Chains A and B, each alone.
Chain A
Amino acid sequence: MDTQWPRYEVFEKERPDWPHRNAGSVHAPDAEMALENARDVFVRRPHCLSLWVAPASEIFSMTAEQLAGFDWRSVPAGPDSEPYLVFQKQTQRAAETFVVHVGEVEARSHAEAMSHAVEKFGSGGVFVWWVCPARAVTRSEESDVSAMFAPSESKPYRQPHFYKVIAQLREIKSKASE
């Protein structure tokens, strides 16, 4: 029996003028615990304003190559349209491989949402697209900030530069070479 909990993708907003960006994923028994695990795993560093979690199973992902011959009408759709969140991976640079939130579309299926997303937000240079129904996303509240995110700002000892490791290593090396 597979006892692994479901995987949730985590989106973090670090600054007011930045979008929510995919930080990684966590396992959790349910969305509420996923939000807490996301906080504990990814908000050890300051400046988190908001967290979203979404079950990985609800996220429909396509690369630019896969989209080339894609016909969303071939995929069965539900009767009613609903809002979907749209995310893009816009660069392959190693330090910035985030999948970032770019907006919303209305659609009756993941496939239709993907098609509308490309129409609405496609301007070339996108490597990967994600769409996810808005109802599947669990979001932190404004009132969560003080207890969930603010305390980490006063914990500089969690920052790697707090320990001055590089300077100390240089000192050790210079002593060793004497």
Chain B
Amino acid sequence: MNSAALAAKLLALADDEYILGHRDAEWTGHAPILEEDIAFANIAQDEIGHAVLWYNALKDLNGDDPDRLVFFRESSGWRNAQFVELPKGDWAFTMVRQYLFDAAELVRLAETVNSAHRAVAEVSEKIRPEEMYHYRHTSNWVKRLGLGTEESHRRMQAALDSLWPRALQLFAPLPNEDELIAAGIFPAPDKLRAAWEGATRSWLTDSGLTIPTITASAADREQHTEHLAALLAEMQEVARLEPPDVKW
């Protein structure tokens, strides 16, 4: 097995979960209603919890310390998709992003629970029930907002137009990922993309939304928007105030 390729894959998964969880957490105290504030804070907490599981799997593989990775890494070192680092936008943008992400998670987890790599299978087993609930919750929101008022529909369509092309970055193969696929550790991204499109296209269409046409190819995970550096500056600020070996 190519352990560098596996490490790169685990880092990408962890970074996606962590950055999205952070963006989601920005709604805490600001979500449209109290009940959803609690519901979405739960989802944010779950995503960060999933990131911790992937970071710990990475640590077991190559010794990388999760705290160092999260709180002391420059934006150029992050391997999350741009899809998750974009500012939270309005509620429609947040719901569309979370829905598309949850759907991508579910199709991958359905495969990786049977991964040939034990840690990948175990983490997937733990994450999957939570993602099933996320998907249920966000898909219900998508349908209600898509078929809701003129304003909610307009906002949802605008969010989908912006996010759909960027979501494809979640399925862009990493360098040497083919070795992980051949070893039965991770499924082929194009297979996942087909399953993801199968699920999301029909649900979004039933929700009154139009799937945009894609013209550009997905960005590389080494390329980030200016939004990631701003996010990290805020997120890492407190940790960087203290000496590295401080005990909390």
Measuring CB to CB, which residues of chain A are less than 8 angstroms from any residue of chain B?
Answer: 5, 26-30, 32-33, 36-37, 39-41, 44, 146-148, 150-151, 154-155
Contact = CB atoms under 8 A, between A and B. Distances in A.
A36 B140 contact: yes
A146 B126 CA distance: 11
A2 to B, nearest CB: 14
A39 B35 CA distance: 10
A29 B136 contact: no
B38 interface: yes
Contacts of A26: 35
B130 A37 contact: no
A154 B33 CA distance: 27
Contact of A44 (B36, B42, B129, B136): B42
A31 to B, nearest CB: 11
A68 B137 CA distance: 45
Contacts of A29: 144
B195 interface: no
Interface in B29-77: 33-36, 38-39, 42, 46, 49
Contacts of B130: 147, 151
Q: Which of B35, B36, B49, B137: most chain A CB closer than 10 A? A: B35
Given A147-B130, A147-B132, 15 more contacts: A5-B33, A27-B35, A30-B144, A36-B39, A36-B137, A37-B35, A37-B36, A40-B35, A40-B137, A41-B38, A44-B42, A146-B129, A147-B129, A151-B129, A151-B133
Q: Which of B39, B129, B133, B144: most chain A CB closer than 10 A? A: B133
Nearest to B135: A147
Interface in B139-154: 140, 144
Given A37-B35, A40-B35, A32 B140 contact: yes
B36 A148 contact: no
Contact of A147 (B33, B126, B136): B136
19 contacts: A5-B33, A26-B35, A27-B34, A27-B35, A33-B140, A33-B144, A36-B39, A36-B136, A36-B137, A37-B35, A37-B39, A39-B133, A41-B35, A41-B39, A147-B129, A151-B130, A151-B133, A154-B126, A155-B49
A32 B139 CA distance: 12
Interface string B192-220: 00000000000000000000000000000
Contacts of B38: 40-41
A146 B125 CA distance: 12
